[in-house]
Amino acid sequence: MKIYKNAADAAAILRRGRFDDEEKRAAVRAIVQDVRTRGDAALFEYCEKFDGASLTAATVAVSREEIGEAYAQVSADLLSSMKKAAKNVLDYHSRSPMREDIRTDGRGRTTGYTVRAVGRAGIYVPGGTAPLFSSVLMGVLPAKAAGVEHIYVCTPAKDGKIAPAVLVAADLCGAEKIFKAGGAQAIAALACGTESIPKVDVIAGPGNIYVTLAKKEVYGEVGIDMLAGPSEILIIADGKQNAAHIAADILSQAEHDRLARAILLTDSPAFAERVAAETERQLALLPRSGIAAYSVENSGGIILVKDMEEACALANEIAPEHLELACENCEALLPRIRSAGAVFMGGSTPEPVGDYFAGPDHTLPTGGTARFFEVLNQDIFLRKMSVIRYTEEALAEDAADIVRLAENEGLHAHANAVRIRTEKEKRK
């Protein structure tokens, strides 16, 4: 793993390029429009073209028989662990709901907001190179905690099959239906509705570049959680940490895909050397070493900083998906962090704790978008509605100001809607 003497030398790996291009964008736009126009017919054609799945209206939704078969293929130990993780995730997302706030000022004015869950949510679960059943938990359960009535899962079915653990997770979490559809065509189906897949209000969940571009394309027809790109981790570590532990954390992200990015910031040159050596040693032992090696070589690195203050400032510029503060004084560093998807505190909190089990969601903003996007949470599936109520007396008291404001904008009908209720001779 390459060691950079400063941030300037590491500009190439710090500069995250755009995750889209015009050719891919045009292809996605065509798919979305085709599904919008032809519905199921287009959806099934693209599923067969890209995933080898021959689907019909009768087979696109996973049957109870298929779910039963999936349970038979999942070990009791895995099911037990999955249930524990699901409980943690649901408990976490249930403990901090957005709450109604309606207040009266004592003079006839009631204002505030009420909260409602969206009616339908679509959860996208990537197919990719690994069965990401954890993404089912992290997508479905926040919607469940929010009180969404209808929750649908879409995931690619390679040759018509979905990984058993994914099916079990979706059933365990209470998804109403699971559809054998992935890619941009699935996003289009959820956004526009087809004969087989209902139109939803919000789409959440990560995917490849085509999924992300499709979410971008349909935003406005539906709500979305974020525009997620390749996975990434940034670690800030002092020289007192275990080099093997930090190397393992680097590789835990590098193995996601070839575009994943793993970066270490440290103020200790000796520690940097130890981590670099340990990363190479562990890399040779990984089943997914080819993917991880490409990621480490092309998007990863160790950057030397003069102190932890510089490290925090650099972290805020990068705005990483995952940020590990592997330092003895991590609590003192946290207030300096402004932009990150999730922060992992201390040397005993590796990123996979959040990926699988702790409770907070692992669907996080990437590519610097943590500056303005937030982690997937139940608020994504909730909507505030303003509530306003005036008594007759309160309206009379504020009428002159409201009329004046409206008339000065040239909106005289607005002014009249107030005046007609407050003039001395009220119209019947």
- Catalytic residue (one of 322, 324, 351, 362): 322
CB 362 within 8 A of CB 138: yes
Average of per-residue pLDDT values in the chain: 94
> Cα 412 vs. chain centroid, distance in angstroms?
45
> Cα 362 vs. chain centroid, distance in angstroms?
7
Cα 338 to Cα 6, 114, 141, 323, 335, distances in angstroms: 22, 30, 27, 11, 8
Average pLDDT in the 49-73 region?
Answer: 97
**Is 221 an active-site residue?**
no
Supply the pLDDT for residue 99. Answer: 85
Q: Which domains does the chain have, with CATH numbers?
A: 3-19+229-359 (3.40.50.1980), 22-224 (3.40.50.1980), 391-422 (no CATH)
pLDDT exceeds 60 at position 427: no
CB 264 within 8 A of CB 10: no
- The share of the chain scoring above pLDDT 70, in percent, equals 97
Residue with tokens 């298929």: 66
CB 303 within 8 A of CB 309: no
Supply the pLDDT for residue 416. Answer: 97
Task: Report the b/e string of 185-206 with b at 16+ CB within 10 A.
Answer: bbbbbbbbbbebbbebbbbbbb
Q: Which of 313, 299, 210, 204 is nearest to 253 (CA)?
A: 299
Radius of gyration of the chain (CA): 26
Cα 182 to Cα 13, 15, 53, 62, 423, distances in angstroms: 30, 30, 10, 13, 61
- Catalytic residue (one of 321, 324, 351, 362): 321
**Tens digits of residue pLDDT in 210-261:** 999 999 999 999 999 999 888 999 999 999 999 999 999 999 999 988 989 9
Any idea which of 11-20, 120-129, 202-211, 296-305 has the lowest mean pLDDT? 11-20
Q: Which helix (H) or strand (E) holds 405?
A: helix 392-408
pLDDT exceeds 90 at position 14: no
Angle between helices 243-254 and 289-299 (to 10 degrees): 100
Supply the pLDDT for residue 426. Answer: 57
pLDDT exceeds 70 at position 17: no
Any idea which of 2-6, 228-232, 384-388 has the lowest mean pLDDT? 228-232
| Band (140; pLDDT cuts 50, 70, 90) | very high
Torsions phi, psi for 203 (to 5 deg) = -115, 130
pLDDT exceeds 60 at position 425: no
> Cα 158 vs. chain centroid, distance in angstroms?
23
**Is 322 an active-site residue?**
yes
pLDDT exceeds 70 at position 312: yes
Provide the 8-state DSSP code for 114. E
Strand duo 177-179 + 150-154: pairing: parallel
- The share of the chain scoring above pLDDT 90, in percent, equals 90
Supply the pLDDT for residue 423. Answer: 86
**Tens digits of residue pLDDT in 189-209:** 999 999 999 999 999 999 999
pLDDT exceeds 90 at position 128: no
pLDDT exceeds 60 at position 157: yes
Average pLDDT in the 319-332 region?
Answer: 95
Handedness of CA 415, 418, 423, 428 (dihedral sign): positive
> Cα 294 vs. chain centroid, distance in angstroms?
25
pLDDT exceeds 90 at position 107: yes
CB 188 within 8 A of CB 203: no
> Cα 182 vs. chain centroid, distance in angstroms?
17
Q: Which of 189, 176, 115 is nearest to 149 (CA)?
A: 176
> Cα 246 vs. chain centroid, distance in angstroms?
25
Three-state secondary structure call for residue 422? helix
- The CA distance from 328 to 350, in Å, is 15
**Order of strands across the sheet that contains 342-345:** 3-4, 301-304, 261-266, 232-237, 322-326, 342-345
Q: How many other C-beta atoms can be found within 10 angstroms of the C-beta atom of residue 386?
A: 9
Strand duo 342-345 + 382-390: pairing: unpaired
CB 130 within 8 A of CB 138: no
